[in-house]
Amino acid sequence: MSPLPDHAVRFVPPAEYQVWWARTEVCVGRHSHPDDIAWYVVPGETDFETPHGPVVARWSRGTDGARIVIAGAFLGDEMVVRHEMLHAILDRADHPPEVFVDRCHLTWRSWARWAPHRPSTPTP
């Protein structure tokens, strides 16, 4: 697992994340347990450094479990959070386009095309 960014702190995900998790499970057609994730935020930041360069969020798995780290500016960004949730549900770090783009619309470009057309109160 990659090291935690400087100043990252663990947090309890808000209730809204449960709804987002359920939506993500529906789009991918797979069930997983969000309680298995350790959640961290880097407060006051728009991105943070990783071994692969700066990112706004990152999912990773190690021998001690899985975690999601989110830059503070993106804690309420549904696409960013659900993108990392999708990594967790799939338990993989790559981005298969048939899932991330076609089925779940969880990339910057696919979200922008899809989001204006989605229902205002989607159901999980």
The answer, yes or no, to whether residue 112 has pLDDT greater than 90, is: no
State how far the Cα of 64 lies from the Cα of 66, in Å rounded to an integer: 7
21: closest CA among 95, 97, 104, 92?
A: 104
Distances from the Cα of 71 to the Cα of 33, 88, 101, angstroms: 23, 17, 22
35: closest CA among 57, 8, 17?
A: 17
CATH (residue range 9-117): 3.30.2010
- pTM (2 decimals)? 0.87
What are 51-91's pLDDT values in tens digits?
889 999 999 998 888 999 999 999 999 999 999 999 999 99
Write down the pLDDT at residue 64: 83
Per-domain boundaries in the chain: 9-117
The answer, yes or no, to whether residue 124 has pLDDT greater than 50, is: no
Write down the pLDDT at residue 114: 60
What are 20-48's pLDDT values in tens digits?
999 999 999 999 888 889 999 999 999 99
